A = this chain, B = another copy of it.
Amino acid sequence: MKLYDFPMAPSPRRVNVFLAEKGIEIEKVEVDLRQAEQMSEAFKLINPHCTVPVLELDDGTYISSIDAINRYLEEIYPEPPLFGTNAKERALINDWCHYINVNGFMAVAEALRNSASRMKDRAITGPHNFAQIPELAARGRERVGYFFEDLNAQLAKTKYVAGDAYSVADVGAMVVVDFATGMAKIELPESLTNLKRWYMEVSARPSASA
């Protein structure tokens, strides 16, 4: 098994933190996004969607979505469980994963990719170029604000995002907060105290540096 990776980028980090929580070490191959190596013809044979991370299985199969990679790793290395321990827990975690991906991760990406000058014509990842849409950057920022508020409201009720146990939903949400406040320069409002309490806690785990 081999992970195509770029340690500075938020998407592969969602797998790297997951691996660190599991205590798994696997071979990693760096794909240099600064040099647009993900757009090369060589890399398109690995992943025609031109994104990292990609997990290569021992039989040469490539898995290219974060969700599919983490679920595969959960199945191969079940301990500690990060997708829940029974059907209901799994359903609540899956619900949060969906929400975090669509309303958190994609909203930050929308804000960043439609405004950063280095991402001109790269408003969406993948093999096709798309022009930036400034209104979409503004909409993305607004959506991230709602996402933070929703997460804060949830974390008034629960210790971790999807309940009492740390899960893959916390991995995703932590990476969204760092992606937003770092690359996209969207502040975390001081008033969201539950979110800040949780963020400090998950960020102090050794896995957070992965």
Residues in chain A within 8 A of chain B (CB atoms): 48-49, 55, 57, 59, 61, 63-65, 67-69, 71-72, 75-76, 87-88, 90-92, 94-95, 97-99, 102-103, 106, 124, 126, 128, 130-131, 133, 135-136, 139, 142-143, 146, 150
Contacts and interface: CB of A to CB of B under 8 A. Distances in A.
Contacts of A94: 63, 65, 67-68, 71-72
Contacts of A131: 135
Overall SS of chain A's interface = helix
24 contacts: A55-B91, A57-B91, A59-B88, A63-B94, A63-B95, A64-B95, A65-B94, A65-B98, A68-B92, A68-B97, A69-B91, A71-B91, A71-B94, A72-B88, A72-B91, A72-B94, A75-B90, A76-B87, A102-B106, A128-B146, A130-B142, A133-B135, A133-B139, A135-B135
Contacts of A48: 150
Contacts of A90: 71-72, 75
A199 to B, nearest CB: 22
A92 B75 contact: no
Given A63-B91, A124-B143, 5 more contacts: A67-B98, A68-B95, A102-B106, A130-B139, A136-B136
Contacts of A97: 68
Contacts of A59: 88
B136 A88 contact: no
Contacts of A103: 126
Most buried by B among A75, A102, A106: A102
Contacts of A139: 130, 133
Closest 5 A-B residue pairs measured CB to CB? A68-B94, A65-B98, A72-B91, A68-B95, A75-B87
A150 B128 CA distance: 12
Contacts of A102: 106
